[in-house]
Amino acid sequence: MNIISYFIILFFILNSCSFDNKTGIWTGSDKISKNKTNTDQNLEYIFKKQNTIVEKVELSPNTKLNFDKPNSYLAWGQSFQNQANYISNVSFLNDGNYKKFSKIAKADVNTNILVKEDKLFFSDRKGNIGIFSLSQNKLIFNFNFYKKKFKRTNKNIKLILKNDFIIAADNFGYVYSIDFKKNKLIWAKNFLVPFRSNLKIIENILFLSDEKNKIILIDTENGKKIEEFYTQPSKTVSKFESNLAIDKNNNLLFLSTDGSLYSLNLINKKLINWIQNFKSENDIVFDGNPVIISEDKILISTKNNIFLLNLNGKLIWEKKIKSNISPVISGDIIFTINNDNYLILIDKNSGKILFSNDINLMLIKDFKKNFQKKIGKINHIYLANNKLLLISDNSYFIEMEIKNTINVSSIKKNPFNIVSNIIFIKNEMIFVSDSKRIFKVN
């Protein structure tokens, strides 16, 4: 059976509302079956008509905000730090001090950076994979896999660390493994279709997805393909990259560029547990944020909505909140900022909005000054040592105290523009600026 036949079969499967007991989606020579206990929710569209206006809501004096304890990470070996993409309450003392390191590359640096044992791992658009020693302030490793025929094409490389190995996947369809201690290429495979997802590893199995929403399982020891699993490809191209997360039962959660969330048991029984669709009928393209798993709950946020599901795929609640940033969950509270620059706190269990207020009005109240035009757009939100840290695209840091009331405690314009992911290690924040220099805050 050729690839076209796969997609034709899959199209008819996904356009039905459920799978019958004889249906399977083929991956290689084996068949993926559905989970018989979830036949009523294999594929659902879960949108409801709701009021899109977010009004001001004051925090009730009797409200208890329960957060997770601050977590001091010692390493950051994959995108979004862990298998669940769950970055809760980070340990970070925002004292305002920063250290600027040497320039790490000539070409633009890809956003995916990692840290292990005081070393920062990165890649650039020229295809260099580098290791920069933070203690020595110098580049100590550089490897370029690509030949001259790729010289003029930008390389978008995703990285994940496994022991002494860097595993990389790129926009040409290559996956390769490097022993960074021996400076040696271990294996390299070309799957022909560009990869467009983060990377996850369970034991010796690498999970990733290509731009056609095909999930591929690869043996990390030798690079051999273990399985491949076809899902519905997107009819249009969006900025959203498909996203992977792994729940506590080792089920793979896959949010595709078509807006469908798959729960897949690919390790033990090769089951499709369920499928939910988050692309509304009015959307031409799907735009969302990474899947976040908090204990036995799944948070999905799109440009128009926030959804909370249980691990069986059942919708718990939905909120019509237009936002382009990834929310933060800690304890029983979800934090987000909508497109009108309102800070919003949501009770995770009930979906009730506990607090909502215009950030600019909060700044005017606490600082007697209008910062709206200077700050620009807020594009990052973190909970750090029980305080909210907001970071704008103009590199303003806004810190908020969260007690019986929520007040702005500090605001600062910083002399850098952040172009990489932001990671937190040992009470410090680390990122790469547009000057291709590493910054360590605190």
Domain architecture of the chain: domains with CATH? 3-441 (2.130.10.10)
- Where is mean pLDDT largest: 11-20, 249-258, 260-269? 249-258
To the nearest whole percent, how much of the chain has pLDDT over 90? 76
Strand pairing report for 243-246 and 252-255:
antiparallel
pLDDT at 10: 46
What strands, in cross-sheet order, belong to the sheet with 205-209? 200-202, 205-209, 214-219, 225-230
The DSSP secondary-structure symbol of 241 reads P
Q: Is the pLDDT of residue 267 over 90?
A: no
- For strands 271-277 and 292-294, give the pairing: unpaired
Nearest CA-CA partner of 41 in 237, 429, 352, 311: 311
DSSP string, 42-96: SEEE-------PPPPBPPPTT-----PPPB--S-B-STTSSTT----EE-B---S
| pLDDT tens track for 70-99 | 999 999 999 999 999 999 999 998 887 899
Confidence of residue 31 (pLDDT cuts 50, 70, 90): low
Residues 6+ apart with CB under 8 A from 138: 102, 132
Average pLDDT, the chain: 89
Nearest to 235 by CA among 1, 14, 5: 14
Average pLDDT over residues 7-12: 42
Q: Is the pLDDT of residue 216 over 80?
A: yes
The Cα-based distances of 16 to 20, 79, 280 in angstroms read: 10, 34, 17
pLDDT of residue 419: 96
